[in-house]
A and B are shown apart, each in its own frame.
Chain A
Amino acid sequence: MHMVNDKLSASAWINNVIKPEEYEKYLDNGKDFIDDDKIWQQINDSVEPSPERVREILAKSFNVQTLDPTELATLMKVRDPEIWQEMYEMAAKVKHKIYDNRIITFAPIYCGNFCVNNCLYCGFRADNDKEKRTKLSLAQVRDEAEAIAGRIGHKRVIAVYGEHPETDADFIAESIKTIYSVSVKTRKGHSEIRRVNINAAPFSVADLRKLQEVGIGTYQVFQETYHHDTYKKLHPADTIKGNYPWRLYVHHRAYEAGIDDVAIGCLFGLYDWRFEVMGLLYHAIELETRFGVGPHTISFPRINPASGSPLPTDPTYNKYLVSDEDFKKLVTLIRLAVPYTGMIITARERQEVRDDVMFCGCTQTDASTNIGIGGYAKNTGKQDIDEQQFMLGDTRSLEELIRDLAKRGVITSFCTAGYRCGRTGDQIMDLLKKGHEKHFCKLNAILTYREWLDDFASEETKKLGEAVIRKEIEEVRKKTPTIFSKKLYDLTMSYYERISNGERDLYI
């Protein structure tokens, strides 16, 4: 048998990855839950709604009810810019109702760019010989985590891996453990990564259990495109990724493996964005219906130039590139359609787009982002298209982002409290749908923002941040005891005091 670094050769490994019995049981007469014809029919049959009808649907979103696909298709038919403006504003209100005035931040860690797949849009694809292939050793993973926790101050990361035996589930599990083990002394306390989310290949239940056992945060897998024919064209049939249902049902397997939180997404620009938004809604409904827990987050990256990739300049596909205007619409529609979900906008987007779209319902974003392998420890401040999956559009530092958000009155949160006291899975879904989670978000945002300001902020940022904290604390005080009990208020204030004195990782 051919061996690669004591592992099965890539070709032998590929043949052992897919377990058809793990997704076939979910199929309905051999069909998955994405019915392309039905989706197009729903989109095509919808007509421009009256403002009253739009407001009825918006009221449903505000009531934290997942929209029906026909309702989403109806909203897509709105043409009046004033009604769209109402929809943007409602998306922001829905987000505020569920998650309050906070944005969570994180950093991606790219752990390896070996990949057995050949996705036409991706710089990591196996046939791209321009890509410089590498994988971090566990010591290098530690270096990355130390740089992120100790120099930048993030408390959560998403670790990213290509699909390859070099970065299999065992390696991922070890790297998660390594990241969690890091603790770095800071100006006033210490800093560590408290939540490790993963973006990786679709694994089997047995492999997913390995990730669950080491405390994976959210398991994120994007379908890329929900449209079957397009999926087939972009993902060659002789690759693992060529198997549409193996990928589509990976979140089902994750729940089977005991993972609490899963994340879905698709890469906009591969097919018609309206179809993809409908696909995301169908995916959320499927997870809610079958497991009682919808996606923890939804991501909506737009395709960016990648090393050695014919897309997005290929005329077959560039008709699907999403304009900034449509991007804002699709983000708004996702927020309205799946009101409880977290929504992630990343540094792929240009600063002006991110600053605008963030306020259409997004809950999380990244900053000080470096998507080169080992990029945080190297800290060159440069992007290299041959060393990364795509090019970033917004290279603001975390400090710059925090300052920009503070100027808009928004608090940056480093909260990971849910994972520290079992507010996960269906428990957190319930809290989100009832609108209770925002109260925990608010208090934990105050506590973790205080930590970051004391440990990492410049004097200028600290000044701006403290004004935000004062405003947030005043809001909490005004809502005590109607929303926040006296006991909770007092506990929060005592934690705040202790954090100001150098204690860390206190949460509500």
Chain B
Amino acid sequence: MANAISTFDLERLARKYGVRIWLCRRIGRRWSFVEGAGAERVLPSELIYESAETGVFVQGEEFDAAGIKAEVISLLQPPTAVC
């Protein structure tokens, strides 16, 4: 779980989209912080991706939620073997 998205990738997404982004683990009805990147600001937290055990929150003024979500999904997919 801790390596679901690397710190490097979180930092890259934070820079690219100008947001604060953080990865959480779902525990019952709550989310537990795992890792994050980007400067914290006083803005709403938006859950842009969730699965049975993982959630990705983003905080930003105006941002491309669909673009971030697509990249997050791609990063969370298990790697496929290349022959």
Given that A485-B61, A508-B45 are contacting pairs, would A436 and B29 also be in contact in the complex, using a CB cutoff of 8 Å? Answer: no
Which residues in B have their C-beta under 8 angstroms from that of A439? 42
Q: Does B4 contact A (CB under 8 A)?
A: no
Q: Is the CB of B29 within 8 A of A180?
A: yes
Which B residues from 1 to 46 make CB contacts under 8 A with A? 22, 24, 27-34, 36, 40-45
How far, in whole Å, are A494 and B47 apart by their CA atoms in the complex? 18
Identify the closest chain A residue to B34 (Cβ).
A422
Q: Does B57 contact A (CB under 8 A)?
A: yes
Q: Does A488 contact B (CB under 8 A)?
A: yes
Q: Is the CB of B30 within 8 A of A215?
A: yes
Q: Is the CB of B28 within 8 A of A215?
A: yes
Identify the closest chain A residue to B30 (Cβ).
A419
Contact of B40 among A212, A436, A483, A487 (CB under 8 A): A436
Q: Is the CB of B42 within 8 A of A436?
A: yes
Number of residue pairs across A and B with beta carbons under 8 Å? 69
How far, in whole Å, are A337 and B29 apart by their CA atoms in the complex? 34
Q: Is the CB of A180 within 8 A of B28?
A: yes
Given that A180-B28, A212-B27, A213-B27 are contacting pairs, would A422 and B40 also be in contact in the complex, using a CB cutoff of 8 Å? Answer: no
Per-residue 0/1 for A481-497: is the Cβ within 8 Å of any B Cβ (1 yes, 0 no)? 00111011001000000
Given that A422-B57, A427-B36 are contacting pairs, would A488 and B43 also be in contact in the complex, using a CB cutoff of 8 Å? Answer: yes
Given that A421-B45, A487-B61, A508-B45 are contacting pairs, would A431 and B40 also be in contact in the complex, using a CB cutoff of 8 Å? Answer: yes
Among B28, B30, B32, B34: residue with most chain A CB under 10 A:
B30
How far, in whole Å, are A255 and B24 apart by their CA atoms in the complex? 16
Q: Does A450 contact B (CB under 8 A)?
A: no
Q: Is the CB of B27 within 8 A of A434?
A: no
Which residues in B have their C-beta under 8 angstroms from that of A258? 32
Which residues in B have their C-beta under 8 angstroms from that of A434? 40
How far, in whole Å, are A158 and B31 apart by their CA atoms in the complex? 19
Which A residues from 407 to 433 make CB contacts under 8 A with B? 419-428, 430-431
Q: Is the CB of B44 within 8 A of A214?
A: no
Contact of B44 among A212, A260, A420, A491 (CB under 8 A): A491
Which residues in B have their C-beta under 8 angstroms from that of A177? 28
How far, in whole Å, are A142 and B55 apart by their CA atoms in the complex? 29
Identify the closest chain B residue to A421 (Cβ).
B45
Q: Is the CB of A419 within 8 A of B42?
A: no
Q: Is the CB of B33 within 8 A of A424?
A: yes
Contact of A422 among B29, B33, B44 (CB under 8 A): B33
Which A residues from 130 to 180 make CB contacts under 8 A with B? 177, 180
Q: Is the CB of B32 within 8 A of A424?
A: yes
How far, in whole Å, are A434 and B33 apart by their CA atoms in the complex? 18
How far, in whole Å, are A498 and B49 apart by their CA atoms in the complex? 24
Q: Does A275 contact B (CB under 8 A)?
A: no
Which A residues from 494 to 508 make CB contacts under 8 A with B? 508
How far, in whole Å, are A258 and B33 apart by their CA atoms in the complex? 10
Q: Is the CB of A488 within 8 A of B24?
A: no
Q: Is the CB of A194 within 8 A of B29?
A: yes
Which residues in B have their C-beta under 8 angstroms from that of A488? 42-44
Q: Does A320 contact B (CB under 8 A)?
A: no
Contact of B45 among A214, A423, A428, A485 (CB under 8 A): A423
Among B24, B28, B57: residue with most chain A CB under 10 A:
B28
Which residues in B have their C-beta under 8 angstroms from that of A487? 43-44, 61
How far, in whole Å, are A378 and B51 apart by their CA atoms in the complex? 41
Per-residue 0/1 for B57-76: is the Cβ within 8 Å of any A Cβ (1 yes, 0 no)? 10001000000000000000
How far, in whole Å, are A254 and B42 apart by their CA atoms in the complex? 29
Q: Is the CB of B28 within 8 A of A214?
A: yes
15 contacts between A and B (CB under 8 A): A194-B29, A214-B27, A260-B32, A420-B30, A421-B45, A421-B47, A422-B32, A422-B57, A423-B45, A427-B36, A434-B40, A436-B41, A483-B42, A484-B42, A508-B44
* 5 cross-chain pairs, A with B, having the tightest CB-CB distances, nearest first: A215-B28, A422-B24, A419-B30, A422-B31, A421-B45
Given A422-B22, A439-B42: 4 more A-B contacts, CB < 8 Å: A212-B27, A427-B22, A487-B43, A508-B44
Residues of chain B touching chain A, judged by Cβ–Cβ distance below 8 Å, are 22, 24, 27-34, 36, 40-45, 47, 55, 57, 61
